[in-house]
Each structure stands twice: as C-alpha cells, then as structure tokens.
A and B are shown apart, each in its own frame.
Chain A
C-alpha cells in the first residue's frame, strides 16, 4: 500500500504489509530486519557442538528425545541444554550441530509457523512444515560449508492422516536441505550411529506410549555410552533427556518424574547384565 503523496514513502505500520501474498515470516524478516536473521560467527571460532537426537513412531504418534550436553572441543560447555522443541501444536524439531545457530533457527522456525497460521487463518500441512524447514536449512548452507552445520530432525502428527494410529511422521535432512521421510525411527548427531543400533533392536511397530518413551531414553543412554559428545542421564543433578511426544491431542513433554523412573529401571537392568 503506497501513499499518494508523491514521496513514495509507505506509511507507518503499513510498510510491514508491502508484499501481500507472502505469509512467510523468514522472507519478511530478511527484508525488514536482515540483521536479525540467524548468522554464523567467523570460521574457526570454537563453538559448542555434538549431540544425539532420536525420533520413533508409535501407535498414535511420534516421540522425539535429545540429550542435554553441549561440548566445545573437549570441554562440556553446558550440561542441560535443550535440543528438542515443539515447533507448533502438532510438530517437534530437534537440532544437532552448532548450538547457538541451532537454537536461533528453531526460534525462527517456531515464529515462521505461527506467523503463517495467523495470516492465513489455517495451519500448514505437515509436509508443508517439513518443506519450510528444508528451505531454512538450505539458506544456511554457506555457513555449513565453514563447518558450522545445523542438521534438524523433524517429526509430527499428521492430522490429515487417514489412520490415526499411523499418524506419526518423521523427516530427516542433510546440510543441503534435502528432505527425507523416515518410516519407523531415525537419529541424528554425533551419537546417532550408536542410537540407531540400539533402536534397531529395541523398536517394534505399534508400541504404546510408555514403551516408546522407554525405547527412546534407552537408545540415548547407549549413544552416551559410546560418544563423548552425547550426555547420559544425570541422576545426581536430576538432568534427563528432553523427551517430547506429538499425538492427535497435541505436543507434550514427558515429565522428569516419569523419566527418573524410566532411567532407574534401565540402570537396574544394565547393572544386572554384565557387558551391557
């Protein structure tokens, strides 16, 4: 909307409505305030890195869990960093990679989804949300080439799914922004190989909510066992993995009390099995 006063200036708040038809907050932000876009520090800076994120489908939805450690070289930069977030009412995103950049990107992504919903009056489909995340990752490719990669894992409940018991969906990404639907479970991060090995043996189709929470926590435990950049559960301090669920009733974070019980059960079993 341009003023007709000859100056071509767009008035006040209306300069924020100058491109009707774009419901993308990221595009608007890069035009209105490009200095607020997530940006990478100069190459060579030592930044916190490394992680394990797991996601697995179950009967009625999908679970995503992430460890709590951020490392910078050999040092533990933070013991209780959160890496798994609800991106909106029905979807979850977990990020492996450069910590500061990852957190900024998640924040931007959350606003992106909410912004679209408020302007359009309706939510994006789950595939649409997965696509938007791919675009944001692609935009970060320049920084990724310098070693400051951000690799997300995206999961959600598809409210358009015909069969609600199979409504949980998982998508993985590579640094170029390629998007890959995953069928049963997936893991990303420095500990992902170990976590996937555990999931291969622990996961079954059609598990209940409680069973899949246990499987997710146990696979993270195995990843922490073999990867120094992944933190195991810290009972002394009460720091447990962030475990979140996405189902038809929305997203939910599993409470520390429940996780404490699950972790103690895992530890008891392992103690009874030498070599575990």
Chain B
C-alpha cells in the first residue's frame, strides 16, 4: 500500500493520541492522593528494582505510567532540573509548578514534532506546609497539564474506573493507614476477571509518601513489613492476579496496530 501524499493534521494527531493511549493502557495503574500529612503514591508494581514512583526534590515527588525508558528519562531530567535550580538559587525556590510546566513543554513539543509521542502519563506532586499547600499535577502524553485538587489515577486500561471508585471512597485528611487502604482498594477494584475485586499484596505494590512532618527531605518509601502493617489483616491472600504485564515490546502486540 503506497503512502498517502497528504494526511490532515487532525488525522495525524488523532493517530498519535491513539498510539500513546494504547501504550499507557498496557501498563499497570498508579493512584496519587492527598492525606492528613501530605501526598500518598500507590502504584501497582511487581518489580522491586524498577520504580514508578520517585523523589525529585525536598518537597516534590514523581510518579509515572507507560513506557519505562521514556519516563525514566523524564525522571532523571526532572531531578537534574530541580537540583540545578536549587543550587543556583535556593532550595526553597524549587517548585512543582515550575517542574510541571517544563514537563508540559517537553511532552507537548515531542508530541507535535516527533514521529512518535512519548507513551507516558506522569504526575508531579508537591507537599505544602499545610493541607492547602499540597499540589498534584497530571501531565499527559501531549503536554496537557491538569491541576488535580485531591487525587488522581493514571495508567492501565481502567484508569477511569479507578477514578470513579476513588471518587466514591476518598475523603480528605485521612490518616496514612486509611488513605493507603482506600487507594489499594481502588486499584484492586479494576482489572480482575469478570470484574472481580483483586486483593493486592504488599509485594505487588510500590508505596511512597511526601510527609510534611519529616525533616528536610519529605519523600519516604514504605515497603516490606511497614507496608504490610498498613494493609488490612489477611489482605492479599489469596493474592489477586496481577493486571496485564507492563508494556510488552511492540512487535509482540497483537491487539491491532493501525494499518496503512
């Protein structure tokens, strides 16, 4: 089939969006929410070495879904930008808003000008001195930036369902244990066979917080026995089946690519 001489810009952008959305839907989901002491990240992640959630700066955290090497690139770039800014000015001059703007510019430019968009959706979060100061920013593959007030869910095929579940069950200002259980339940509400709920054990979760009560660096990972202690007793047994594996290589994708 010969290449068409002309494709409308709208068509090209739509194809790219489609491509990016499929890439993001292949992975597992992440929930970011605010709780009494700051910001909570809960990701469905069976790997203990490859992280979806990461520290960027004193009060800033990063979470991403989609293609690992792409969001890993963005993560490193964000840490460099933050450290450079903090070093040239002052540590307090580094803000999530500035970082989110930089990410939005980058993702938007890549989406328009590159042949392949980044198949990523990222969240930049900042913990404030009080609950009003907490900020969550959601950035999409095309550079759209949304300032989320309380929580967000991204990635996997069921982000909308998870968001709905969070809307039903979330309350602001929960203590850490309640907030973790709400988020884990929301993640487990989708992705099971025939809509059954999944009970995700600690080994399949990556959990971290930005805790405003901590010292200089607010980011802290919660794993192992500390995480198990936050989950309901008997949770995760039998272990819920994991959602479809993170982003297999594209040449094995049989769900139907575009055909020209």
Contact: A111 with B74, CB < 8 Å?
A: no
> Is B56 interfacial (CB-CB < 8 Å)?
yes
Contacts of B56 in A (CB 8 A): 118
Contacts of A272 in B (CB 8 A): none
Q: Nearest Cβ distance between residue A33 and chain B, in whole angstroms? A: 6
> Is B109 interfacial (CB-CB < 8 Å)?
yes
Interface of B is mostly: helix
Contact of A11 among B54, B55, B86, B110 (CB under 8 A): B110
Contact: A118 with B54, CB < 8 Å?
A: yes
Contact of B87 among A12, A15, A16, A29 (CB under 8 A): A29
Q: Nearest Cβ distance between residue B184 and chain A, in whole angstroms? A: 23
> Is B105 interfacial (CB-CB < 8 Å)?
yes
Interface bin, chain B:
20 to 34
Contact: B76 with A3, CB < 8 Å?
A: no
Q: Nearest Cβ distance between residue B33 and chain A, in whole angstroms? A: 23
Q: How far is the CA of A156 from the CA of B103 in the complex (A)?
A: 37
Contact: B76 with A4, CB < 8 Å?
A: no
> Is A1 interfacial (CB-CB < 8 Å)?
yes
Which residue of B is nearest A7, CB measured? B113
Contact of A14 among B55, B73, B84, B86 (CB under 8 A): B73
Contacts of B86 in A (CB 8 A): 111
Chain A interface, number of residues (Cβ within 8 angstroms): 26
Residues of B59-111 contacting chain A, CB below 8 A: 73-74, 76-81, 83-84, 86-88, 102-103, 105-106, 109-110
> Is B8 interfacial (CB-CB < 8 Å)?
no
Q: How far is the CA of A162 from the CA of B84 in the complex (A)?
A: 37
Contact: B110 with A13, CB < 8 Å?
A: no
Contact of B115 among A4, A11, A16 (CB under 8 A): A4
Interface of A is mostly: helix
Contacts of A36 in B (CB 8 A): 87-88
> Is A145 interfacial (CB-CB < 8 Å)?
no
Q: Nearest Cβ distance between residue A174 and chain B, in whole angstroms? A: 27
Contact of B113 among A3, A115, A118 (CB under 8 A): A3
> Is B51 interfacial (CB-CB < 8 Å)?
yes
Q: How far is the CA of A15 from the CA of B81 in the complex (A)?
A: 10
Contact with B along A1-31 (1 / 0, CB 8 A): 1011100000111111100100001001100
Contacts of A72 in B (CB 8 A): none
Contact: A4 with B77, CB < 8 Å?
A: no
Contacts of A114 in B (CB 8 A): 83
Q: Nearest Cβ distance between residue B25 and chain A, in whole angstroms? A: 23
Contacts of A25 in B (CB 8 A): 80, 83, 87
Contact: A107 with B102, CB < 8 Å?
A: no
Interface positions of A (Cβ within 8 A of B)? 1, 3-5, 11-17, 20, 25, 28-29, 32-33, 36, 107-108, 111, 114-115, 118-119, 121
Shortest beta-carbon contacts, A-B, top 10: A12-B106, A17-B77, A16-B80, A13-B102, A16-B77, A12-B105, A13-B106, A5-B113, A11-B109, A13-B77
Interface positions of B (Cβ within 8 A of A)? 51, 54-56, 73-74, 76-81, 83-84, 86-88, 102-103, 105-106, 109-110, 113-115
15 A-B residue pairs with Cβ-Cβ distance under 8 Å, sorted by A, are A3-B109, A3-B110, A3-B114, A4-B115, A11-B105, A13-B103, A13-B105, A16-B84, A17-B74, A32-B84, A33-B84, A114-B83, A118-B54, A118-B83, A119-B76
